[in-house]
Structure 1
Amino acid sequence: MTIEIKAPAFPESIADGEVAAWHKSEGDTVSRDELIVEIETDKVVLEVVAPVDGVITKIHAVVGETIEGEQLLATLAEKKSAALSSPPAQASLAASGDNASEPSSAELLGPAARLLVDEHKLDVSAITGTGKNGRITKEDILKFIKAREAKSAATTTASVEPSATIDKEPPSVSPSGERVERRVPMTRMRARIAERLLNATHETAMLSTFNEVNMAPVMALRKKYKDQFEKTHNGTRLGFMGFFVKAACEALKRFPAVNASVDGNDIVYHGYQDIGVAVSTEGGLVVPVMRDADFMSLADIEAAIRDMGLRAKDNKLTIEDMTGGTFTVTNGGVFGSLLSTPILNPPQTGILGMHKIQERPMAVDGQVVILPMMYLALTYDHRLIDGKTAVQFLVAIKDLIEDPARILLQL
């Protein structure tokens, strides 16, 4: 029985996607729920898995091809018995010419992988397979080739004959060194991020206001209760982000314009606080959203942030995870940033930037005191938010952080 493997249906906010990587090749045997292909969209990388056990008979969309929702990606011959997997294995053995007395590397290779091995005359034993049961995939071969080429380019650009290895003196290297350039296309996600950032600068009147906050009260509270907090909440750690998210929710209630968005000539005021938290990944910055964050406890927020970070790292975030949001919090301090001006995430009209905690001499009641201080930045859309509102909003967050009991008491 032949089964069609199609791309998932894309929501209205995503027009199309791009085939990012095939983890299987034509002729490969796959198991049910095994990853076959990854599709990169403007927001997330979607994984397509095998619906049943079988053998991939035809791949219809190559890497880099733009596809639409529910477009045919591959056809799969459902595996009814072990006989279905025998011909490919026998064909590979015949092509390899290995005899039965030697460990057969062909059993670990699909047809496409075998072709690359033969073409580049590779030693299969030096390649680590990431497929099922140690199977060597086409991507494993390509990764091995790239790593070998990179290592060769890093040592010398000159071609050394095998016989040269017996020379007593190493080949001379040009003292001028290399001027290497590498041109690679933008990933679909990076291109979309660039497009949104440009749109934000062109379509909004962005302005930033700054303040500084004394982190000593929150740090003392965290130090006193972090062990008990982690034990009580099943391993969830007490961080600083939870305090800022809770403070932002309270401040948004007091200044609804910062929680609003502009839609044409209309202003949309949101009666809820869906807070986006910027997360850095290898593919770019993503902003998963916590729904109804104002109803979440500190433990819930910290657990949600940790979960979103892990799923972002593993490309497990869904489109729904990053849709919506009324306000964003970003923390450049984890990378050492002392001060920055974050860019709006349209159609939101405000974004809060946290930064590195730095000990600085501060004047307190006429005395110089060393305090752990953090600069805060609020970037806002001046079309909707006046400077007075923006400053008061940021001061409200400062007051709540410097006296964390006010968050609980909503003062």
Structure 2
Amino acid sequence: MATEIKAPTFPESVAEGTVAAWHKQPGDSVERDELIVEIETDKVVLEVLAPEAGTLSEFLVAEGDTVASEQILGRIGEGAAAPKAEAPQAEASAPAAAPAAADAGGEKFEVKAPTFPESIQEGTVAAWHKQVGEPVKRDEVLADIETDKVVLEVVAPADGALVEIKTEEGSQVASEALLAVFQAGAGAGGAPAAAAEPAAETAEEEVFEQVGDKIVAPAARKLIAEHGLDVAAINGTGKDGRVLKEDVLKAVKSGSAKKAAAPAAAAAPVVEGERPEKRVPMSRLRQTIAKRLVQAQQTAAMLTTYNEVDMGAVMELRKQYKDTFLKAHDVKLGFMGFFVKAASEALKRFPDVNASIDGSDIVYHGYQDIGVAVSTERGLVVPVLRDTDSMKIADVEKGIVDFGQRARAGKLGIDEMQGGTFTITNGGIFGSLMSTPILNPPQTAILGMHKIQERPMAVNGKVEIRPMMYLALSYDHRMIDGKDAVQFLVTIKELLEDPARLLLEI
């Protein structure tokens, strides 16, 4: 009897998905819980696993088709998966190997990926800090798993060593996926020695490369390139006719393998010096940042309004109280505390700016959770300060310092970067004079701070040099009217130019 393969139950905010990729084809055998197909929604990629072992009999939807929640995608017919036919032989040989394994050390453990939060579907093995056979202590870091939000550490379950690495660096893994086999009490001498001979044979095979109809050694390849020889004209004396360095030297001496001269007009220009290039895979965090930014521009009617603020009053306040503030609160008085408090007050006055769009619904938030963009080596992350309206400036400054330190160390939690209602980003710390920030969905507005620059300004009919900062508010015009966006930004400007209004709440 055929078993139906159904799409997962989508979250309430997801109406439909797209068949991203089939990992099995009709006629392929599958095991229970083996990945068959991926469904991509506007928020996450969902994996569909085989409900039973058998043979994939048919597709009902093709890659690229749009599917609904719990829609039938295909069917699995009766019949055991191919790998099971070899199981008896594998089981028969297992007892013979068991005594040897038992003598090598103590108890064996499966090293698994951590349990990912619900919002994370998969991660990437970023780095193995220990290799097979290398002795490790209990709770020492074995590997890093990089997700699109945080880096998770996998630690040793006991003193011992890795016996086998199942998942290499760069591989994608699911929650609780098997990463390696670990043996308690094992040292550096066990597993590597057993694998040394096959590895050496493999290395010997890999150094040779197919060039045309010939198999050529690395040293021979270099000489062929240097002397411009025709590899087809060189007689290889190595195993199976492989071309060795000695064969190339003979051809150079005899002049029997020179290539025909190329036309002068086709000669490539000579470039002196090294021209290095390096290709590395994009990190999952960078991929997620890129996807979300493009999505924000494609789905939102994004506009940006600008204004400028005289930072003289705030700077004078900082200068006057910075030492007292540091002694009282053990944290420096920065600009961000003033901006967060000003934004909190402005958000209360303009609730549309503090709202978010969920499908065809508008969600008004009765609180102010402000995300503060933090730059790290891995990319930009946006941890969220909760209930900023009730926070003091000292609490804001302490929270931002803590976020910055933990973000650069990769120690921020998933829950600390979710659920913000508004975002502030400060390009001024890098010298940016003017920019257009991009929305952080599903939020409908983001405030961009910039460099403080002294400029001549007209003040009471006179020209004065004032410390000015450009402010940029990007907003979703589907939700926020231009009038409200401008007035929101003017409110922040007025609060910052007269900081006493923040204390008096006027």
- 2:266 counterpart of 1:266: no
Q: Which residue of 2 aligns with 1:319?
A: 414
Q: Secondary structure at the match of 2:352?
A: helix
Cα distance 1:200–1:175, how it changes in 2: closer, same or farther (>3 A)? closer
- 2:117 counterpart of 1:11: yes
Note if contact 2:139-2:158 (Cα within 8 Å) is conserved in structure 1.
Answer: yes
Cα distance 1:89–1:298, how it changes in 2: closer, same or farther (>3 A)? same
Deviations 1:364-409 (A, max 9, x none): 1100010000000000000000000000100110011111111111
Q: Which residue of 2 aligns with 1:101?
A: none
Deviations 1:277-305 (A, max 9, x none): 11111111111111112221111111111
- 2:467 counterpart of 1:361: no
Q: Which residue of 1 aligns with 2:483?
A: 388
- 2:325 counterpart of 1:229: yes
For residue 214 of structure 1, what is the amino acid of its counterpart?
D
Structure 2 residue ranges without an equivalent (≥5): 1-106, 204-225, 227-269
- 2:165 counterpart of 1:59: yes
Moved more, 33-42 or 327-336: 33-42
For residue 322 of structure 2, what is the amino acid of its counterpart?
K
Give the alignment of 1:141-290 within 5 angstroms.
176-234=272-330, 236-290=331-385
Note if contact 2:133-2:191 (Cα within 8 Å) is conserved in structure 1.
Answer: no
In proportion to residue count, which structure has more helix? 1
Q: Secondary structure at the match of 2:286?
A: helix
d(CA) in 1 for partners of 2:271, 2:116: 54
Structure 1 residue ranges without an equivalent (≥5): 96-110, 120-157, 159-173
Q: Secondary structure at the match of 1:259?
A: coil
Note if contact 2:132-2:191 (Cα within 8 Å) is conserved in structure 1.
Answer: no
Q: Look at both structures and tell me which one has the larger radius of gyration over its CA atoms.
A: 2
Deviation at 1:90, TM superposition (A): 8.6
Deviation at 1:175, TM superposition (A): 6.8
Cα distance 1:375–1:91, how it changes in 2: closer, same or farther (>3 A)? closer
d(CA) in 1 for partners of 2:329, 2:431: 29
Deviations 1:223-251 (A, max 9, x none): 111111111112x1110011101111111
Deviation at 1:199, TM superposition (A): 0.3
Note if contact 2:365-2:421 (Cα within 8 Å) is conserved in structure 1.
Answer: yes
d(CA) in 2 for partners of 1:247, 1:187: 35
Cα distance 1:288–1:351, how it changes in 2: closer, same or farther (>3 A)? same
Deviations 1:308-364 (A, max 9, x none): 111111111121221121100000000000000000000000100000000000001
Of 140, 149, 154, 1:48 maps to 154
Q: Which residue of 1 aligns with 2:102?
A: none
d(CA) in 2 for partners of 1:71, 1:381: 40
Q: Which residue of 2 aligns with 1:38?
A: 144
- 2:128 counterpart of 1:22: yes
Q: Secondary structure at the match of 1:258?
A: coil
d(CA) in 2 for partners of 1:306, 1:63: 32
d(CA) in 2 for partners of 1:381, 1:55: 54
Q: Which residue of 2 aligns with 1:376?
A: 471
Deviations 1:182-205 (A, max 9, x none): 332211111111111110011101
Of 356, 370, 386, 1:291 maps to 386
Moved more, 256-265 or 316-325: 316-325
Q: Which residue of 1 aligns with 2:22?
A: none
Deviation at 1:4, TM superposition (A): 2.1
Q: Which residue of 2 aligns with 1:135?
A: none
Q: Which residue of 2 aligns with 1:332?
A: 427
d(CA) in 1 for partners of 2:143, 2:366: 40
Q: Which residue of 2 aligns with 1:304?
A: 399
Note if contact 2:163-2:191 (Cα within 8 Å) is conserved in structure 1.
Answer: no
Cα distance 1:72–1:358, how it changes in 2: closer, same or farther (>3 A)? same
Note if contact 2:133-2:190 (Cα within 8 Å) is conserved in structure 1.
Answer: no
Cα distance 1:4–1:305, how it changes in 2: closer, same or farther (>3 A)? same
Q: Which residue of 2 aligns with 1:154?
A: none
Cα distance 1:273–1:27, how it changes in 2: closer, same or farther (>3 A)? same
Aligned residue pairs total: 333
- What's the TM-score, normalizing by structure 1? 0.77
Cα distance 1:52–1:295, how it changes in 2: closer, same or farther (>3 A)? farther
Cα distance 1:4–1:376, how it changes in 2: closer, same or farther (>3 A)? same
Q: Secondary structure at the match of 2:116?
A: coil
Across the aligned residues of Structure 1 and Structure 2, the Cα RMSD in angstroms comes to 2.3
Q: Which residue of 2 aligns with 1:168?
A: none
Deviation at 1:177, TM superposition (A): 3.4
Q: Which residue of 2 aligns with 1:77?
A: 183
**Greater RCO, 1 or 2 (C-alpha within 8 Å, sep 6+):** 1
Note if contact 2:332-2:397 (Cα within 8 Å) is conserved in structure 1.
Answer: yes
- What's the TM-score, normalizing by structure 2? 0.63
